[in-house]
């Protein structure tokens, strides 16, 4: 249940000490603060510009961000000493925390700024709500595959006779093995992927195994392999490849059969600033706010009304744009939560097999 590679910073924890010792599940009085779990980096910078600073300007509520692990979050809730208010995490991690009883309900009925009916229905849950879409896409070298002569689906990607060259695909340690793409390459329709046929997926993966130069474990590694020419085709996160494409690298994205993945806001049960947390989630899901975030980082809105405020050039980079949404599919995060351990064991055996 590791959610970040870093533990809570000592200084940040000390600064939050005054917020401790709230009763489990109790509504704490607003302190004019809000503490959000974040990993930092370009994503947090984008959120600060598009969401955090505007929220503070509108409400006077100061936002502090700190990292944390799942074990710390669960321990906080169980002890009644909660140091965090809002979580910003991938779907699988949020599902695990919800199962542990660590999340408070989202009060959609009290929303004053966002119309809950404008949210994509699949991301609106009782105790979590989607804030962005990212995607695993097909990236390729435009030097190797010029113009329209590039792989246009995963069956093409697997066809190393027609589209020759080394590939890179994610290792299971990146979060999930590329079983969905293997099944698409084997002819399974996008709408009938789940529950995944694991054995069929491994048989499909065996057909491309010799052409995979590296099973990447981090997003940085995936784009390094593609930019450096070590791989001519890759399955990788759209946010990793979009930056180099924007800077003129000889790379491109094929959005067909891309896999949409989701990140969620969640409010921790017993949060010290729970009223502020509810106000923040309402504020952050507004269409104009989500549209503003898309200016700084290529992650798609979950509010359907946001695209009326996004220009065509930016919309073309977003996984949830109407154009890309029509040719992609949602990862079933619950399936992966339920089966990741078994797939990981099978994956390790398969990797060392002939």
User: In angstroms, what CA-CA distances link 7 with 13, 72, 90, 92, 132?
Assistant: 10, 9, 17, 19, 24
Residue 169 and residue 76 share a domain: no
Q: Would you say residue 150 lies in a domain? A: yes
Residue 174 and residue 162 share a domain: yes
Residue 36 and residue 17 share a domain: yes
Give the per-residue pLDDT at 194: 98
Give the per-residue pLDDT at 88: 94
Q: Which residues of the chain have pLDDT under 70?
A: 1-31, 354
Query: Given 3-state DSSP classes, what are the helix, strand and coil percentages for the chain, each rounded to the nearest 5?
Result: 45, 20, 35
Mean of the per-residue pLDDT values for the chain?
90
pTM of the full predicted structure?
0.86
Half-sphere exposure of 113 (CA within 13 A, CB side): 16
For residue 123, give the nearest of 275, 340, 291, 333 by alpha carbon: 333
Contact 83, 20 (CB under 8 A): yes
Residue 90 and residue 17 share a domain: yes
Give the per-residue pLDDT at 31: 52
Beta bridge pairs of residue 251: 141
Domain total in the chain: 2
Q: How many degrees, rounded to 5, is the angle at CA 132 between CA 55 and CA 228? A: 120
Residue 145 and residue 66 share a domain: no
Residue 320 and residue 281 share a domain: yes
Give the per-residue pLDDT at 26: 36
Give the per-residue pLDDT at 354: 66
The CATH number of the domain holding residue 25 is: 3.40.190.10
Residue 341 and residue 207 share a domain: yes
Residue 312 and residue 278 share a domain: yes
| Domain of residue 181, residue span | 134-261+333-352
Q: How many degrees, rounded to 5, is the angle at CA 315 between CA 311 and CA 318? A: 155
Give the per-residue pLDDT at 40: 81
Q: Would you say residue 1 lies in a domain? A: no
Question: Strand, coil or helix: what is 132?
Answer: strand
Residue 286 and residue 245 share a domain: no
């Amino acid at each position: 249940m590791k959610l970040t590679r870093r533990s809570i910073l000592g200084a940040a924890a000390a600064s939050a000490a005054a917020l401790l010792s709230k009763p489990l599940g109790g509504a704490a009085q607003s302190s004019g603060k809000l503490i959000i779990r974040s990993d930092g980096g370009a994503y947090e910078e984008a959120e600060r510009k598009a969401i955090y600073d505007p929220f503070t300007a509108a409400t006077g509520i100061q936002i502090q961000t700190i990292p944390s692990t799942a074990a710390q979050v669960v321990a906080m809730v169980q002890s009644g000493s909660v140091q965090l208010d809002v979580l910003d995490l991938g779907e699988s991690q949020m599902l695990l925390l919800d199962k542990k009883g660590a999340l408070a309900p989202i009060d959609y009925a009290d929303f004053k700024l966002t119309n809950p009916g404008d949210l994509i229905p699949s991301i609106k849950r009782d105790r979590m709500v989607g804030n962005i879409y990212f995607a695993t896409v097909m990236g390729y070298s435009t030097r190797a595959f010029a113009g329209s002569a590039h792989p246009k689906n995963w069956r093409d990607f697997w066809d190393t006779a027609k589209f020759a060259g080394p590939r890179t695909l994610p290792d299971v340690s990146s979060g999930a093995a590329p079983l969905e793409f293997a099944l698409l390459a084997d002819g399974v329709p996008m709408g009938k992927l789940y529950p995944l046929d694991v054995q069929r997926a491994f048989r499909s993966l065996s057909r491309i195994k010799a052409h995979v130069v590296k099973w990447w474990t981090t997003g940085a590694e995936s784009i390094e392999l593609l930019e450096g020419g070590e791989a001519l085709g890759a399955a990788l996160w759209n946010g990793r490849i979009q930056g180099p494409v924007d800077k003129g690298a000889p790379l491109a994205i094929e959005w067909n059969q891309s896999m949409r993945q989701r990140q969620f806001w969640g409010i921790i049960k017993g949060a010290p600033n729970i009223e502020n947390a509810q106000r923040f989630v309402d504020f952050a899901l507004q269409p104009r706010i989500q549209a503003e975030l898309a200016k700084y980082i290529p992650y798609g809105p979950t509010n359907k009304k946001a695209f009326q405020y996004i220009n065509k050039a930016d919309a073309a980079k977003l996984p949830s744009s109407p154009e890309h949404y029509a040719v992609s599919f949602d990862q079933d995060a619950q399936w992966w939560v339920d089966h990741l351990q078994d797939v990981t064991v099978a994956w390790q055996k398969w990797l060392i097999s002939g």
